[in-house]
Amino acid sequence: MRGNSFEAKVKADGGRELLRLLGVEEPGGVSVPDLTAAGPEGRVARTALALREATGSGGWTLLDHPLLALEVAGSPVYLEPDAVVVRPDGGWTVVEIKSFPTVDGSADAAKVGAAARQAAVYVLALERVAAVTEGARVAHSVLLVCPKDFSNVPTASVVDVRKQRAVTRRQLGRLTRIDEIAEALPEGVSFDVAERSPEELTASVESVPHQYAPECLAACELAFHCRARSREAGAVETLGRSVRGELGGLTTVGAVLAAARGEAGDPDDPAVAALRRARALREEALASAPARMPREHVECPC
Ligand code: SF4
């Protein structure tokens, strides 16, 4: 609710408030076209038309929640920036409104970085429309609007997203196309949630491999499922990619424990040597610990 009311405040006065943040004190008339249309394709087409009309109008236009399309791995993905401002000279600027504060002129660097990466994707999507719009030019600097200090007063800063744009473009170019991935699926596998029963969907999910890592928990709805499979298999990836990297050829928890106990593993392997040393230190610490300290492994709640 706070975010919504802040966004409404930023876009108040028919878009003039936002243009003031952009440094335009007297924008004259600001056009705010209606972008409603049926379905995402309709909204994308309506946005493209509004951008074309605005570019040739010679005035200021604010597109409130336009819808853009970008091809990702051969499939269209729909993106909705908070706003796009069209300048009288045909320049298009992405506006990203965030609810994290700018305190004493600076904001959380990680959050600003995430907002810049997000805005860079919008810039790439806008460039596709600009390529077929005469006189259009997409700015590689975006306007980031945040609440000032701990108030609800908006303040804006211009963020250069050239680097993020270049990185995202390169990453998108390297993605394997979805149809190539689909071709590699076993016969009869389908993830059609509308057509398939829960049992069939479960069987389909079970039939494909996974690459679980704790990072999945923050990004993927299948994370608990993949984590359970990964734990069942005793895969060390459940402990994190960095741990996996440290353990070299030891890929399961069982193999790690056997190596630590001296039951398996090459003693010249640095990972095996480090595990044995760690086990010896642990035994030593437990032997000298007060009796009330738990000696058994306690499962970490996280
Ligand atoms: S949780 Fe999602 S991203 Fe992670 S391995 Fe499973 S399907 Fe892939």
The strand pairing partners of 70, in sequence order, are: 77
Which atom of ligand 1 is closest in space to residue 210's alpha carbon? 5
* Distances from the Cα of 294 to the Cα of 18, 287, 289, 298, angstroms: 60, 12, 9, 8
What's residue 284's pLDDT?
92
Give, for all 302 residues of the chain, the pLDDT tens digit.
Answer: 888 888 888 988 888 888 888 888 776 788 999 999 999 999 999 999 999 999 988 889 999 999 999 999 999 999 999 999 999 999 999 999 999 999 988 899 999 999 999 999 999 999 999 999 999 999 999 999 999 988 889 999 999 999 999 999 999 999 999 889 889 898 889 999 999 999 999 999 999 989 899 999 999 999 999 999 999 999 999 999 888 888 988 999 999 999 999 998 888 889 999 999 999 999 999 988 776 555 555 565 55
Pull the structure tokens for residue 267.
């003693």
Relative to the CA of 211, which ligand 1 atom is closest?
5
CA-nearest residue, atom 1 of ligand 1: 223
User: Which of 216, 227, 238, 241 has most ligand 1 atoms within 8 Å of its beta carbon, as the pocket-test mutant?
Assistant: 216
User: Which of 206, 212, 244 best tests ligand 1's pocket when mutated (most atoms within 8 Å of CB)?
Assistant: 212
Ligand 1 binding pocket, CB closer than 6 Å = 210-212, 216, 220, 222-223, 226
Q: Can you tell me whether residue 297 is helix, strand or coil?
A: coil
Give the CA-trace dihedral at 236, 239, 241, 245, to 10 degrees.
-50
Q: In residues, how long is the chain?
A: 302
Structure tokens at 111: 């959050």
Token code pair at residue 73: 């791995």
Q: Which amino acid does the sequence have at 232? A: E
Measure the CA–CA gap between 227 and 98, rounded to whole angstroms. 32
State in Å: Cα 78 to ligand 1 middle: 22
Ligand 1 centroid distance, CA of 207 (Å): 13
For position 50, what pLDDT does the model report?
96
pLDDT (0 to 100) of residue 275? 94
Q: How far is CA 241 from CA 34, 132, 213, 237, in A?
A: 47, 43, 6, 6
Rounded to the nearest whole angstrom, what is the distance from the C-alpha of residue 225 to the centroid of ligand 1? 8
Going by C-beta distance under 8 Å and a sequence separation of 6 or more, which residues neighbour residue 33?
50, 53, 54, 61, 63
Q: Which atom of ligand 1 is nearest to the CA of 222?
A: 1
Q: How far is the CA of 214 from the centre of ligand 1 (A)?
A: 10
Which residue, judged by its Cα, is nearest atom 6 of ligand 1? 226
Determine the pLDDT at residue 252: 93
At which residue do the structure tokens 């970490």 appear? 300
Ligand 1 centroid to residue 4 C-alpha, Å: 31
CA 231 to ligand 1 centroid distance, Å: 14
